[in-house]
Homo-oligomer: A and B are copies of this chain.
Amino acid sequence: MSESKNKFNKDMPSARRNQASGATLIDVAKVAGVSPITVSRALNRPDQVSEKAREKVRRAVEQVGYIPNMLAGGLASRQSKLVAIFVPTIAHPIFAEMVQALMDELSRAGYQAILGLTGYQKETEETLFNTILGRRPDGIVLTGTQHSELMRRRLIASGIPVVEAWDLCDDPIDMLVGFSHEQVGREVARHLYAKGYRRFAVVTAEDARGMRRYHALLDELHHLGIDDVPTAFIPPPSSLNAGREKVCELLDAGHRPEVVVCSSDTVAQGVLAEAASRGWTVPKDLAVMGFGELSNASQVYPSLSSVRLDGDRVGGQIAQALLERFKNPDAEIAPLRIDTGFTIVDREST
């Protein structure tokens, strides 16, 4: 640690100049006694190199501790082997799960992920976007389908493969992996109706997606002959306590539903708490339907039914779509659209 200055002479061996364990392709080539390009090929296209050469290279790599510089590689090949993933936050289990699954899948194909956290206001969405695009990702994963026009245009113009996740919409930028909120609403309605429930109530947050589920639910219930659905709306941010208060209001107003459909598991937990404090048994006295990640609430409240989005599954499908596209970039026609579906986890029957 004596030579503090970083001034390096051009005539010192490159092993001395380069930081991370030093060695470059050229060093490896020298040791192996082949040309640099042969080393490159031995590493990236082994089939184009003789077994003998490969072996020499392998040993040389080992000996000098060579780690390919992907900045240089990416620059030259125009392939960063990077996929940008934009999510609001990873502190929410459902996104964490998706990201985890996605990264795992990508890594086995030799790709790495770079995360863009859009939830923080500190950086504008555009700034974040630019910084990340500066890494020249080979693919981009977006959460949701509502982005600024500018972003959409730039993305389309860039020609980079894009996957929009979680939602299904009509005019995707490129590829789409998600589920239909309308379908969730309808299926929940049918599911509960089929189980025999007739007196419904709803406690829902007022966000766009929750409302889409809600309206589809109402619509389907209407078709089933049910029109009176007492509803309490929660202004954002929704919370366990808000759920509890709102269901209280409904009950205090004299409503006696057999089942309460909630816009999220958090809200549902509030309802469960209220039920417990009234000494009601779930689902006998009151059934509760949640929506979302469930997390460990499922262990705490075995009686909570819920619509579960499977982050693993979504992540896997995104990866699949992306990797497919990398392999076969010509499939420009008919934007891919994958419906991962969702699962109604019925805790009552188990």
Chain A residues with a Cβ under 8 A of chain B: 1, 4, 19-21, 65, 67-75, 78, 80, 89-91, 93, 96-97, 99-100, 103-104, 107-108, 112-115, 117, 120, 122-123, 128, 130-136, 154, 157-160, 240-241, 266, 269, 273, 295-297, 299-300, 330, 332
B158–A20 CB distance below 8 A? yes
Q: How far is the CA of A40 from the CA of B114 in the complex (A)?
A: 24
B108–A131 CB distance below 8 A? no
Q: Which B-chain residue is minimally distant from A312 (CB atoms)?
A: B91
Give the Cβ gap from A23 to chain B, nearest Cβ, in Å: 11
| Residue contacts A-B, CB under 8 angstroms, 21 given | A19-B158, A20-B136, A65-B154, A69-B75, A69-B134, A69-B136, A70-B134, A71-B71, A71-B80, A71-B136, A72-B75, A90-B90, A90-B96, A107-B123, A107-B128, A108-B123, A112-B131, A114-B114, A115-B115, A296-B296, A297-B300
Chain B residues within an 8 Å CB radius of A134: 67-70, 73
Chain B residues within an 8 Å CB radius of A269: 296, 299-300
Q: How far is the CA of A1 from the CA of B330 in the complex (A)?
A: 10
Chain B residues within an 8 Å CB radius of A1: 332
Q: How far is the CA of A113 from the CA of B20 in the complex (A)?
A: 17
B99–A135 CB distance below 8 A? no
Per a CB cutoff under 8 Å, which of B100, B130, B131 touches A117? B100
Q: How far is the CA of A21 from the CA of B155 in the complex (A)?
A: 8
Per a CB cutoff under 8 Å, which of B4, B69, B99, B241 touches A330? B4
Give the Cβ gap from A76 to chain B, nearest Cβ, in Å: 9
A299–B123 CB distance below 8 A? no
Give the Cβ gap from A168 to chain B, nearest Cβ, in Å: 23
Chain B residues within an 8 Å CB radius of A132: 112
Q: How far is the CA of A132 from the CA of B295 in the complex (A)?
A: 30
Q: How far is the CA of A35 from the CA of B19 in the complex (A)?
A: 30
A96–B107 CB distance below 8 A? no
Give the Cβ gap from A326 to chain B, nearest Cβ, in Å: 13
Chain B residues within an 8 Å CB radius of A131: 107, 112
Q: Which one of A21, A73, A273 has the greatest number of beta carbons of chain B within 10 Å?
A: A21
Q: Which one of A19, A91, A112 has the greatest number of beta carbons of chain B within 10 Å?
A: A91
Chain B residues within an 8 Å CB radius of A74: 71
Q: Would A135 and B296 be within 8 Å (CB), given that A21-B154, A90-B96, A117-B100 are in contact?
A: no
Give the Cβ gap from A230 to chain B, nearest Cβ, in Å: 25
Q: Would A332 and B4 be within 8 Å (CB), given that A19-B160, A71-B136 are in contact?
A: yes
The 9 closest A-B pairs by CB, nearest first: A70-B134, A71-B75, A71-B74, A20-B158, A91-B96, A90-B96, A71-B71, A91-B100, A67-B133
Given A75-B75, A91-B93, 9 additional A-B pairs, CB 8 A? A20-B133, A65-B154, A89-B100, A90-B90, A93-B96, A107-B131, A114-B114, A240-B299, A273-B300
Q: How far is the CA of A107 from the CA of B70 in the complex (A)?
A: 21
Give the Cβ gap from A323 to chain B, nearest Cβ, in Å: 16
Q: How far is the CA of A69 from the CA of B130 in the complex (A)?
A: 10
Give the Cβ gap from A328 to chain B, nearest Cβ, in Å: 12
Chain B residues within an 8 Å CB radius of A73: 134
A112–B91 CB distance below 8 A? no
Q: Which B-chain residue is minimally distant from A311 (CB atoms)?
A: B91
Chain B residues within an 8 Å CB radius of A91: 93, 96-97, 100
